[in-house]
């Protein structure tokens, strides 16, 4: 009898345990397990568009180029007085070659026509910018091979129907026509690079120019090397 009581108690305890387990299972059904601490994630910023420099609103083009002579600058061309007792260089050679042509005779001497480049500059910028020519390359028009280098000097600007010295400053909203004298390349080296006379081929001149700190490369129209013009003396 005692054993029956103990068995009954055991059955009651087991039933209670099973019931509690099922209730816990039903209570947790459909719930997600607890997550860890929330981590804030930063939204990636979209790249901001870069503002182009104000010099981008300045348009520059090579209007024309002339390949002729490299003449003395106007200041250096003025003859300085020769000190007394000192012969002018070449005076003895001139005497040996003879005096001026006889009366009525006509002589021909080549005139010096300076090689030049002209740029057109159109600014829509609201700022002033400095301008400079950084490098000049002489190239074959056919094939684009570099055959020589050149220099620039004497910047001028077209104002009041004439060329005046230029400070190489482009004012805001300016419309300019500017020019430079071109130094001659080493024509002997150019002839070797070409493998022929320098008088026949067509050339282009390539310029590296700087405007407001930005360097651009410009190419001229095609041009020949012009032969010197003879004038009657």
176-218: pLDDT as tens digits: 999 999 999 999 999 999 999 999 999 999 999 999 999 999 9
Residue 102 to residues 53, 94, 95, 105, 109, Cα–Cα distance (Å): 67, 15, 15, 5, 16
Residues for the chain: how many in total?
233
Name every residue whose Cβ is closer than 8 Å to that of residue 173 and which is 6 or more positions away in sequence: 123, 124, 125, 126
Give which of 217, 135, 130 is closest to 182, Cα–Cα: 135
pLDDT tens across 6-57, in order? 555 455 545 555 455 555 555 555 555 556 566 666 677 777 667 777 788 9
* Contact status, residue 142 vs residue 196, Cβ threshold 8 Å: no
Give which of 134, 113, 143, 128 is closest to 55, Cα–Cα: 128
Does the predicted TM-score (pTM) go above 0.85? no
Copy the structure tokens of residue 116. 């030049």
Domains delineated in the chain: 54-72+108-225 (2.60.40.10)
* Contact status, residue 133 vs residue 125, Cβ threshold 8 Å: no
First to last CA, the chain: 158
Mean per-residue pLDDT for 89-111?
48
83 class by beta-carbon count within 10 Å (0-12 exposed, 13-18 middle, 19+ buried): exposed
Q: Among the residues of 44-119, which ranges form H helices? A: 74-77, 91-97
Least confident of 1-5, 67-71, 122-126: 1-5
Pairing of strands 202-211, 116-123: unpaired
């Amino acid at each position: 009898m005692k054993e029956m009581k103990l068995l009954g108690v055991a059955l009651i305890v087991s039933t209670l345990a099973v019931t509690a387990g099922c209730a816990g299972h039903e209570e947790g059904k459909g719930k997600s397990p607890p997550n860890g601490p929330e981590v804030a994630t930063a939204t990636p910023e979209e790249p901001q568009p870069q503002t182009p420099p104000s010099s981008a609103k300045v348009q520059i083009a090579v209007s024309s180029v002339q390949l002729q002579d490299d003449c003395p600058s106007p200041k250096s061309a003025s003859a300085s007085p020769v000190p007394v007792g000192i012969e002018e260089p070449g005076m003895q050679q001139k005497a040996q070659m003879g005096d001026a042509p006889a009366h009525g005779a006509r002589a021909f001497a080549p005139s010096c026509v300076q090689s030049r480049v002209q740029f057109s500059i159109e600014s829509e910028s609201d700022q002033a910018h400095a301008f400079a020519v950084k490098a000049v390359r002489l190239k074959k028009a056919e094939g684009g091979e570099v055959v020589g280098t050149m220099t620039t000097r004497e910047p001028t600007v077209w104002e009041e129907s004439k060329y005046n010295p230029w400070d190489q400053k482009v004012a805001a909203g300016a419309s300019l026509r500017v020019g430079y004298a071109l130094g001659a390349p080493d024509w002997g080296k150019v002839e070797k690079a070409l493998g022929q006379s320098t008088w026949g081929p067509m050339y282009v001149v390539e310029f590296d120019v700087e405007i407001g700190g930005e360097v651009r490369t410009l190419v001229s129209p095609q041009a020949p090397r012009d032969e010197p013009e003879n004038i009657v003396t």
